[in-house]
Amino acid sequence: MTDQLRIALAQLNPKVGDLPGNLELGRAALHQAQDVGADILMLSELFITGYFPDDLLFKPQFLADAIQAARDLVAETAGSSTVLILPTIWAEQGRLYNAVLVAENGQVIATRYKRELPNADVFYEKRYFTPGPLAMPVEIKGVPVGIPICEDIWHSAVCEHLAMRGAEIMLCPNGSPYWTDKQHVRKDLVRARVAEDGVPMIYLNQVGGQDELVFDGASFAMEPGDRLVLQGKSFETDFIVSDWTRGPDGWTCTNGRIDDLPSVEEAPWRAAVLGLRDYVHKNGFKHVVLGLSGGIDSAVVAALAVDALGADKVHCIMLPYRYTSPESLRDAEDCAKLLGVRYDVVAIGGPVDQALHELAPIFGDRPLDLAEENIQSRMRGTILMAVSNKLGSMLLTTGNKSEMGVGYATIYGDMNGGYNPLKDMFKMSVYALADWRNKHMPGDCLGPAGPVIPQAIIDKSPSAELRPDQKDQDSLPPYPVLDDILTCMVEEEMALGDIVARGHEPALVKRIERLVNIAEYKRRQSAPGPKLTPRAFGLGRRYPITNGYKDVTVG
């Protein structure tokens, strides 16, 4: 039994389904751990497959290939003194498990299975996996080590069982996605387990974007006595080495590195940048295109894209019509200059007017309404998709959570695109982030320092500019009011009566509920975007399109 352990954490960015790529990442981390003389190397949850592989887990060949890749990485430990903690899928007696393999000198010396399978919000592991039993600690270098897997630590019985059976330290691999305050929630959780069980816990999280989820890393370790002894980087890959010594009061960390966490203002920007960057790169694109209207949403998306990919990989196009104001033309060009991106102007007057001319026999003398407005939006979407097809750029869409909540967007028009960085940002959050980014240079970002969004864009009243003198507030309540109602309705699932009790007009609350319900079909067809809050439109919110329920708490 040793009184000294060097533990390495590989906070990496695996890609779901990329078994050869993930295997190579694991090999490189193992060699790095061997080079620094680590006794233990831990990888993050379901590392070989990436988290989460969804219905790939129903493909027998994928399962066979993933298990073989895990065996290949186990074999890499031969002739080394480093013990590998490898999270992966594993099959036994016809059952599939979310598992950890403990590998030493080319052999699997222990397997441990996740007991608590999450099945709420964005998680649905019970669809695929069998829960494991309460497990015993694993002896590593003579030290009894508990290995709870992610959700296991959210249930006190798992860690309590390990501690009562002699575990002296807990090593916890995770696939924990980011959303508001998640880093502090994790710390509170680990703090509670450490206080209950009296042993330190090392918490490793993966990093990177996967469809609508963003994993922020931010791995850390805590000791009894509420001592944070290790803190890895957020929103970046990291390789963290720490030394641990056993003393009379148990194991203590003697050289933990502690990095600063991003502020609550910076974190959503970094999450959106990482989600966009990985979505573009992991899907094989090299550059993006978007419509730059002179409004706040497209300006923020352009800034996020430059921070994620670099100015040379971002193409902005202004698509003016007769209702586009001179101020919008100026503001869009100024924004493009601040960001240093390619900027083109493609007027849509000719094709829109021709479409209206051809439709005149069908439209007849009916008054102008949304149909004519939507032609403008859809023409813009058609042109942007044409540029995307011709140049191979991914089209970004720019609708915010407030607009998508009430259907204030044109399907097959401004909703066109492969990814929406603002999908989980309310309108007032977009304004706040624009103001924040103009004053700060975020870490791991590629855009210029200093202001990147013209102040005129932040200051002016929002408008779709689809008819003369149009303003969003012509048909919507002020955004601070709308955002509060939507927060209550969507994120808090509050009854209408409780929302009214906050001071909102009953008729307005009922109207917003109706708009939210009838816009579900649009949201089902909308582009994916990064989950930034506990309750996003996407994976974690499944409402029926055909929905007859009526909340009668407001008359």
Single-letter amino acid code for the residue at 536 = A
* Phi and psi, residue 509, nearest 5°: -60, -45
Among 5, 44, 2, 53, CA closest to 25: 44
User: Which parts are annotated binding residues for ATP?
Assistant: 291-298, 398
Cα 511 to Cα 166, 378, 486, 495, 538: the distances in Å are: 59, 26, 12, 14, 22
Calpha distance 493→495 (Å, rounded): 7
Q: Cα angle vertex 219, ends 215, 220, to 5°?
A: 150
Q: Cα angle vertex 465, ends 462, 470, to 5°?
A: 70
Calpha distance 372→410 (Å, rounded): 12
User: Which parts are annotated binding residues for deamido-NAD(+)?
Assistant: 374, 403, 522
User: Which parts are annotated binding residues for L-glutamine?
Assistant: 176, 182
Q: State both tokens at 400.
A: 């915010």
User: Under DSSP, is residue 69 helix (H, G, I), strand (E, B) or coil?
Assistant: helix
Give the residue numbers annotated as catalytic, written as ranges: 45, 114, 150
Calpha distance 187→354 (Å, rounded): 60
Calpha distance 111→114 (Å, rounded): 10
* DSSP per-residue codes, 327-341: HHHHHHHHHHHHHT-
Contacts with 190 (C-beta within 8 Å, 6 or more apart), sequence order: 153, 172, 201, 203, 220, 222
Calpha distance 500→513 (Å, rounded): 12
Contacts with 1 (C-beta within 8 Å, 6 or more apart), sequence order: 141, 142, 143
Cα 174 to Cα 15, 29, 103: the distances in Å are: 15, 17, 18
User: Which parts are annotated binding residues?
Assistant: 176, 182, 291-298, 374, 398, 403, 522
